[in-house]
Amino acid sequence: MEILYKNLLAFQWEQLVMILIGCLLIFLAIRKKMEPTLLLPMGFGTILVNIPASDALTGPIKELYEAGIANELFPLLLFIGIGAMIDFGPLLSNPMLMLFGAAAQFGIFFTLCMARMFFSEIDAASISIIGAADGPTSIAVANVLGSEYVGAITVAAYSYMALVPMIQPPVIRLLTTRKERLIRMPYEQASVSKLTRILFPIVITIVVSAIVPQATSLIGFLMFGNLIRECTVLDSLSETAQKVLANLITIFLGISVSFNMTAAQFLKVDTLLILGLGLVAFIVDTAGGVLFAKFLNLFMKKKVNPMIGAAGISAFPMSGRIVHKMGLAEDPQNFLLMHSIGVNVSGQIASVVAGGIILSFFGA
């Protein structure tokens, strides 16, 4: 009888807290539908690794972690699926939208300065990339830099991505007037040839890789996925990448990241600080995009709706849809979707470039 209860008696309060956190992630995934494909496996994995003497830490989850996270494989494979989902048409129709994607990455470098006050240089750089609003990039950068806070960084990145509908609208309203939110931007679709769509991912890969070599894998896999989509001779492969590959890798990613969600690694004051810094990063990203749009309006005859600047974060396509809905709420005839999605996909590219810049400065 003593043997039967031995493991139950081995539970420590920290492990019970982590199991409750795992249950909370599952609740948010199912009830609130917050990034369910990732938070549910992450939550369940958190429960598995916090059972006393669990073989998950020495068995399957450890193997998945070493096979897919420690060497960046899962985030990179997920980028193929994301690239296959993205339509760069609105961006190609109006290349100026790329500027907003760049401006909305300001939160990364602002958070880097703040995080450096509390963490080592490497950990501060890893934490700052939460501001990319791009889970795979956050995981990849944190792993390459060897941060000890991969679990907390991943939870912060994906949690705030799921909370974008709650975080962005108040910031946008605070920084814009009703008159600015009512600015209409008629969408004038330019004809984008098939050749242009095919050349775009190839050219972007070459240019970005030449400028920031550390971003070659990240931008390369993203653009390879997009090339599969746009070449039109691999439709079945494109569909597989968008659905089967993306969903399967997300499941593996979520459950393997939980390897870092043990009580000893996660229950620290540092974790709460990382979550706070992640929130700051998202807020500053949003503000940076909006304020940049307002700045451009000082010099432009044809004004832009500053709300689209907020879509420059990489939370695709959530941020673009939020801006569109906010535009409709102010004026039911104001359709900002194509503009905001164009900015949103530019943010996807900009976040990868920002990740490469962080690696170029702080990588070994």
Structure tokens at 49: 């690794």
pLDDT of the residue at 4 = 60
Confidence of residue 210 (pLDDT cuts 50, 70, 90): very high
* Orientation angle between helical segments 150-162 and 164-175, nearest 10 degrees: 70
Tens digits of residue pLDDT in 287-338: 999 999 999 999 988 889 999 999 988 877 788 888 999 999 999 988 898 8
Rg (C-alpha) for the chain, rounded Å, is 21
CB 331 within 8 A of CB 194: no
- Is pTM, for the whole model, over 0.95? no
On average, the pLDDT of the chain sits at 88
**Average pLDDT for residues 171-183, to the nearest whole number?**
94
Provide the pLDDT for residue 33. Answer: 80
On the question of pLDDT at 2 being above 70, the answer is no
The answer to whether residue 362 scores a pLDDT higher than 60 is: yes
Residue 170: what pLDDT? Answer: 93
- The mean per-residue pLDDT over the stretch 115-119 comes to 93
Is a pLDDT exceeding 80 seen at residue 189?
Answer: no
Dist CA 347 CA 138 (whole Å)? 14
